[in-house]
A and B are shown apart, each in its own frame.
Chain A
């Protein structure tokens, strides 16, 4: 067990990280992600308010739809990445990272200036379980009458799982199909046990409980950013390849001006995915070297158990940020060869 953003969480369960990772890609994995934070926004100005403090266009959402987005600083850098859920035209739920919940809450409150909205930090009211993998739908369907096949990706519905009212969302952080269920915090244990049971956890093809290590290898392999690694208050949306959730045309939002400027002038560095080509594993914070010069640092580095490669992310100066560029990683004093590759490293079969 380790401290993750103030929460006591398991690094892995008895099956081990690699098995947890592989099982999620081939069958199903269950993640207790109750550490995530939830901010409730209600009122006639809910959409306008959230649209002003986030980078994606909240007006595009319909009831029952969610979007990936960021809270931005006035410099166009990232305060947090999050999901914005539209429950109704006057009711949004923001789901944020555990390590930044307090920071985000203070930021959101301090930017409330006269809009007709009621803000509540409801993080401690919710538990959240993520069931991910090709078998996720069939397993979860055993516990709910909600017709899961009808829920599209990044859509959600209020519904009951094991008789417990909550929000069933077709979202996740693994690159697999799957669901995240938000429910009253005190129901977490019951739901956890029921889902493991419904997914026949003892069977070699059943659902496995997964810890933080597998959560990290899965998201990295799927090319997803982790706040604190790829994203922080020094990285702009455009440098981080998040231009697709940076809707400059939606109207004014915090950080819009510097981002518009950067879009015009071009970024000087870009978040790049790489694959290690010699023996060794790249790790967070290691130097990236080209022709004897340090040109960047690894933001996330790890084995990718499904691809059976060692991969990572690094911000590279634009001239080196091209697929095929040969680089080296300083692995504890030894220079190990790597190559810039296309992201995502892994994409699930259709």
Chain B
């Protein structure tokens, strides 16, 4: 069963958000990395890039396919995870920790409240696999 940490917010595109002092840390979920398979390449934006909610901020590539990743919240990128350039497989091994992708200074901090809770995301993924 995929891991779904309680303290995070989730999107229907299988991204997670951790809020840390007005900033959103964003990555893809355990369910997502498991469906993708071995991640071989991660395309990330640059610090300073701005996105609206649900906009694509980059892509994750497995051996076989390319998947876009979307930011669940609007804001400006303050930091990207440079380690993913040389070690994309961290997304598979530690999707919620060292596999984080971008940090965003949120334009509307309240936006996270409209995301899915852990329980809601878990139900969502169960429905998807049925």
CB proximity of B40 to chain A, nearest CB, Å: 5
Quick one: which of A189-219 are within 8 Å of B by CB? 213, 216-217
Which of A18, A302, A305, A332 has the most chain B CB atoms inside 10 A of its CB? A18
Chain A binder among B20-28, B60-68, B103-111 = B60-68
CB pair A12–B66 under 8 Å, yes or no, is no
- Residue A293 at the chain B interface, CB threshold 8 Å: no
A12 to B59, CA, bound (A): 21
- For the A-B complex, the count of residue pairs with Cβ-Cβ distances under 8 Å equals 35
Extra contacts besides A16-B92, A281-B40, A302-B64 (5): CB < 8 Å: A18-B40, A213-B37, A216-B64, A302-B63, A332-B59
A residues near B59, Cβ cutoff 8 Å = 332
Specify the chain B residue showing the minimal Cβ separation from A2.
B64
A179 to B28, CA, bound (A): 40
Quick one: which of B58-91 are within 8 Å of A by CB? 59, 61-64, 66, 85
- Residue A303 at the chain B interface, CB threshold 8 Å: yes
B binding-site residues for A, Cβ under 8 Å: 37-38, 40-41, 59, 61-64, 66, 85, 92
Specify the chain A residue showing the minimal Cβ separation from B41.
A281
Given contacts A213-B63, A217-B63, A332-B66, whether A16 and B40 have CB atoms under 8 Å apart is no
CB pair A303–B66 under 8 Å, yes or no, is no
- Residue A267 at the chain B interface, CB threshold 8 Å: no
A133 to B85, CA, bound (A): 31
A binding-site residues for B, Cβ under 8 Å: 11-12, 16-19, 213, 216-217, 279-281, 283, 302-303, 305, 332
A17 to B89, CA, bound (A): 12
Which of A11, A12, A16, A305 has the most chain B CB atoms inside 10 A of its CB? A16
CB proximity of B125 to chain A, nearest CB, Å: 18
CB pair B63–A283 under 8 Å, yes or no, is no
A152 to B66, CA, bound (A): 41
A residues near B92, Cβ cutoff 8 Å = 16
CB pair B37–A17 under 8 Å, yes or no, is yes
CB pair B85–A279 under 8 Å, yes or no, is yes
B residues near A302, Cβ cutoff 8 Å = 63-64
CB pair A303–B37 under 8 Å, yes or no, is no
Specify the chain A residue showing the minimal Cβ separation from B61.
A281
Specify the chain A residue showing the minimal Cβ separation from B59.
A332
8 CB-based A-B contacts, threshold 8 Å: A16-B38, A17-B37, A17-B62, A17-B64, A213-B64, A283-B66, A303-B41, A303-B63
A302 to B41, CA, bound (A): 11
CB proximity of A132 to chain B, nearest CB, Å: 18
B residues near A216, Cβ cutoff 8 Å = 64
Given contacts A12-B37, A303-B40, whether A17 and B66 have CB atoms under 8 Å apart is no
CB proximity of B31 to chain A, nearest CB, Å: 15
CB proximity of A203 to chain B, nearest CB, Å: 21
A18 to B66, CA, bound (A): 16
A residues near B41, Cβ cutoff 8 Å = 279-281, 303
Cβ contact of B64, chosen from A11, A279, A332, cutoff 8 A:
A11
B residues near A18, Cβ cutoff 8 Å = 38, 40, 63
Specify the chain B residue showing the minimal Cβ separation from A305.
B63
CB proximity of A182 to chain B, nearest CB, Å: 28
A81 to B59, CA, bound (A): 35
